[in-house]
Amino acid sequence: MPSTRDLEPGYSPQILDHWELEALFLVLPCFPLNWDATQDKTSFHLKWMENRIVEELPVQNEYIEEHIKRHGRRLDHFERKRKKEAREAHRSSAYAQKAFGIKAKLLHAKRHAEKVQLKKTLKAHDERNVKQTDSSTVPDGALPTYLLDREGQKDAKALSSAIKQKRKDKAAKYSVPLPKVRGIAEDEMFKVMKTGKSKSKAWKRMVTKATFVGEGFTRKPVKMERFIRPMALRYKKANVTHPDLKATFQLQILGVKKNPQSPMYTQLGVMTKGTVIEVNVSELGMVTTGGKVVFGKYAQITNNPENDGCINAVLLVYFDTSVLGRLPSYG
């Protein structure tokens, strides 16, 4: 629907007038001031697009991931996904029976390749118990009489077991009491704080979970503080249980090392269920192989501190600290 201004005689919508140009200069301060107002809007926008700083703009095509991060998923999401995957075989079978022509040829070629790959996988699985002659293990030269009947054999099952054992030993370095935790949506983690005279600004967020701040922490000025961590939800000590001693100690928290929900929560010091924290274990008298006293050790939080009013954690005695940065975000 054209406006009344568009119907005025002598007005061309392709030409920028003085007021439109001034408004655009207010919105786009990076645009050159010597711009010719007689040029049409198309070339104006093209020039503006060239002058934009693309690196400073947020990603525009990840709105679905952003919505999931902020609001979570539907309660029946995984049930619907499971049913959809169960129906997929029937749907593909029905389509295979109806298809004809070049589409049918391409479809059958694709399904044939999938079946061949499946048969190869099953065959490799069946051959794991087969013993094969290994010529590399047979020594050169003369053999004693009692060794003539023997052949160098390579047991595929024994080899597979050895590989699996190596994987288990490697996975032991990454093992934690809670390998998986529930994901927390941004709405649950933060509460929007309205500011300004008319409460129209909503860029501040208050953390609703337990947090940790260092000893020399100083808050930013009120106008510069984006994330507010309430004093009532700040913790300095944790109830840490030693898995071997079966005893619980109240130890001082040294820092938050990894929050599985997000790196931003780790930086803010947010402590949720599954978070790996560093505690002061100098009181326990733990020593290294070299005889030095261990000062800090990692522990994983096993409860919901914001609901219980305290932090319960399990000490990671045999945890390899060198792989902490490579732990997956199991949120």
The three-state DSSP-derived secondary structure of 119-184 is HHHHHHHHHHHCEEECHHHCCCCCCCHHHCCCCCEEEHHHHHHHHHHHHHHHHHCCCCCCCCCCCC
What order of strands is seen across the sheet that includes strand 201-207? 190-195, 201-207, 227-228
Domain membership of residue 210 (yes or no) is yes
Q: Write b or e for each residue in 267-296: b if 16 or more Cβ atoms lie within 10 A of its Cβ, otherwise e.
A: ebbbbbbbbbbbbbbeebeeeeeeeeeeee
Domain membership of residue 276 (yes or no) is yes
Asked if residue 16 has pLDDT above 70, the reply is no
Higher pLDDT, 44 or 263: 263
Number of Cβ within a 10 Å radius of residue 262: 17
Domain membership of residue 220 (yes or no) is yes
Averaged pLDDT, 42-53 = 57
Interval 193-227: pLDDT, tens: 999 999 999 999 999 999 999 888 888 998 899 99
Averaged pLDDT, 285-313 = 90
Domain membership of residue 151 (yes or no) is no
CB 177 within 8 A of CB 300: yes
What pLDDT is stored for residue 239 in this prediction?
Answer: 95
Number of Cβ within a 10 Å radius of residue 261: 24
Picking from 30, 52, 74, the residue at the C-terminal end of a domain is: 52
Q: What is the CATH number of the domain that holds 258?
A: 3.10.290.70
Tokens representing residue 124 in the block: 């490799």
Confidence of residue 117 (pLDDT cuts 50, 70, 90): very high
Asked if residue 81 has pLDDT above 70, the reply is yes
Confidence of residue 7 (pLDDT cuts 50, 70, 90): very low
Domain membership of residue 70 (yes or no) is no
Please, how many CA atoms are within 13 Å of residue 137, restricted to the half-sphere of its CB? 10
DSSP 318: T
Picking from 52, 78, 99, the residue at the C-terminal end of a domain is: 52
CB 278 within 8 A of CB 295: no
What pLDDT is stored for residue 206 in this prediction?
Answer: 95
Averaged pLDDT, 7-22 = 51
Domain membership of residue 289 (yes or no) is yes
What pLDDT is stored for residue 166 in this prediction?
Answer: 77
What gap in Å lies between CA 239 and CA 277, rounded to an integer?
Answer: 12
Structural domain boundaries enclosing 231: 186-326
Tokens representing residue 170 in the block: 């490697």
Domain membership of residue 124 (yes or no) is no
Number of Cβ within a 10 Å radius of residue 241: 17
Picking from 52, 77, 98, the residue at the C-terminal end of a domain is: 52
CB 281 within 8 A of CB 248: no
Phi and psi for 217 in degrees, rounded to 5? -75, 135
Segment among 19-33, 55-69, 134-148, 194-208 with least mean pLDDT = 19-33
Confidence of residue 180 (pLDDT cuts 50, 70, 90): confident
Domain membership of residue 35 (yes or no) is yes
Residue entry with tokens 């929050």: 259
CB 277 within 8 A of CB 301: yes
User: What are the angstrom distances between the C-alpha of 69 and each of 73, 93, 186, 210?
Assistant: 9, 36, 6, 20
* Element holding 202 (H helix, E strand): strand 201-207
Interval 119-153: pLDDT, tens: 998 888 777 666 655 555 556 667 777 766 665 55
CB 38 within 8 A of CB 32: no
What gap in Å lies between CA 16 and CA 30, rounded to an integer?
Answer: 18
CB 258 within 8 A of CB 278: no
What is the total count of domains within the chain?
2
